[in-house]
Chains A and B, each alone.
Chain A
Amino acid sequence: MNVFRLSGDVAHLIAIIILLLKIWTSRSCAGISGKSQILFAVTFVARYLDLFTNYVSIYNSVMKIVYLLASFGTVYLMYMKFKATYDHNHDTFRLEFLILPAIALSLIINHDFAVIEVFWTFSIYLESVAILPQLFMVSKTGEAESITSHYLFALGSYRALYIVNWIYRYYMEGFYDMIATLAGIVQTVLYCDFFYLYITKVLKGKKLQLPA
């Protein structure tokens, strides 16, 4: 554990909490892609299958459980409790376009052709593109509430901080993971356009609005 990795985890946690609080306090999930949230829930389930077989630390286990519960809580709020506020007309990204390639790629490129390992690899590939339905939704409506922007910024920062963590681990521990690193770079690059808009608009108090 190093400071970059910890910051990444905290940014991830903050993102998840921002989203839950936004939905809970406004009693609405308008502007949020339920499809992205389903993909994140699937990602966590596939990755944390080792929760009971591979003990790392208390921190690790607790965070895994928190991420799982929070992602299921978010999906529950969107599809059950506040279903009426879910903007499904704008959430039209086809999930199979992301899930099927992630399955195929995880079967072909993995560290070891074993069940848990392939599920882990699938989760890495799926997570890297899981935000696309949300970004697609923002581009379709042409705008995002500031709270949604803060959520996306925290979520994007998480993988960017992990990249710094991987560089640190490579030099300090001689440890690297090509699959996680390449997928993490793809994931972070997907946020670049958003980061630019966030810094130039949202931080200056303006609403995130895409140029017409």
Chain B
Amino acid sequence: SIKHNMHDEL
């Protein structure tokens, strides 16, 4: 699974 994603950014 994804640990290092920045999907909280725009």
Interface of A with B (CB < 8 Å)?
5, 9, 12, 50, 54, 56-57, 60, 63-64, 67, 111-112, 117, 120, 162, 165-166, 169, 175-178, 180
Contact = CB atoms under 8 A, between A and B. Distances in A.
B4 A56 contact: no
Interface of B: 1-2, 4-10
B10 A9 contact: yes
A120 B5 CA distance: 10
A177 B5 CA distance: 5
A117 B5 CA distance: 10
B10 to A, nearest CB: 5
4 tightest A-B CB contacts, nearest first: A177-B6, A111-B2, A56-B8, A180-B6
A162 B8 CA distance: 13
- Please report whether the interface of chain B is mostly helix, strand, loop or mixed according to DSSP: loop
A207 B3 CA distance: 46
A5 B4 contact: no
B5 A60 contact: no
B4 A162 contact: no
Nearest to B6: A177
23 contacts: A12-B10, A50-B7, A54-B7, A56-B7, A56-B8, A57-B8, A60-B8, A63-B10, A67-B10, A111-B2, A111-B5, A112-B2, A117-B2, A120-B7, A165-B9, A166-B6, A175-B6, A176-B4, A177-B4, A177-B5, A177-B6, A178-B4, A180-B9
